[in-house]
Amino acid sequence: MGLIRLDGHDIFYELSGQGEHTLLLLNGITMATASWALLMPILENRYRVLRLDFLGQGQSAKPHTALHTMEEQADIVVRLLDRLGLSRVHLLGLSYGGMVAQHVVHKHADRVDCLVLASTLAWSDAVNAAMCDSWIEANRVGGIDLRYTISIPWLFSSRYLSQHGDHLPELKRLAAMVDWDAVIRLIEGIKRHDARTWLGNVNLPTLILLGSEDRLTPRYQTDILASLIPRARLEILPGAGHVLHLEAAGAMANAIIAFCPY
């Protein structure tokens, strides 16, 4: 684990656990490798688990470009597999990572045994683009206080807010540590995402996970994924919002284990 030089950039990764198969976890937009902590005790007992911070995230490089495209991030993922000598993996992408995962299997389906897409979009439509712009504007005029306040109803379920509202100050503290200029470059890449024309060619066993209270990833988006990917099935996690790795870590891990061989 540590930094590895890929395509001229330092990329941070971690490889841990045990098992015959490697499970690759792709972060949501403001996540880092440490964000998967609640799932790791379950997953590491069954898989080798590979995590990385995308370009613009966590401990990886944050070059000052206009944006980071999904294709660019997908290429880095494949370069990492090459450098680590991993010919095939199980691939799970959450939210932003789920969009990158779609681009990985678009050009490198031969590197993936099974695909899990969690809380993610088939394309960034006008509503999603407007939502992205609203977060950028909120941070511009009100900093972390306003940005975090308006994000709460999009990210969390009613159950989480009522039962774990005391966690919000700590989550806000972590959100404040994110390099927001780098996140904007990731957001600009999201706004270009549209996989609808080629998802029908993804001939892999695919599990689509969605929290029943996910307001950020509307059901119609996951229905598009499920209808276009030939071997996909949709599983709804009851009472969960968008951040499945926090709200429904056990259910998410169990769904992965039931779907991906180990």
- So where are the chain's domains? 2-259
Sequence-separated (6 or more) residues with CB below 8 Å from residue 171: none
Structure confidence at residue 1 (pLDDT): 81
Which of the listed CATH numbers 3.40.50.150, 3.40.50.1820, 3.40.50.720, 3.40.50.300 matches domain 2-259?
3.40.50.1820
Structure confidence at residue 177 (pLDDT): 95
User: What are the distances in angstroms from CA 114 to CA 2, 105, 136?
Assistant: 26, 10, 34
pLDDT, tens digit, 9 for 90 and up, residues 131-171 = 999 999 999 999 999 999 999 999 999 999 999 999 999 99
Question: With a cut of 70, which residues of the chain have pLDDT below it?
Answer: none
Q: Which residues of 110-127 are buried (b: 16+ CB within 10 A; e: fewer)?
A: ebbebbbbbbbbbbbbee
Query: Residue 94 forms beta bridges with which residues?
Result: 118
Structure confidence at residue 190 (pLDDT): 98
Answer whether 0.75 is exceeded by the pTM.
Answer: yes
Structure confidence at residue 77 (pLDDT): 98
**175 alpha carbon, distance to own chain's centre:** 16
Structure confidence at residue 171 (pLDDT): 96
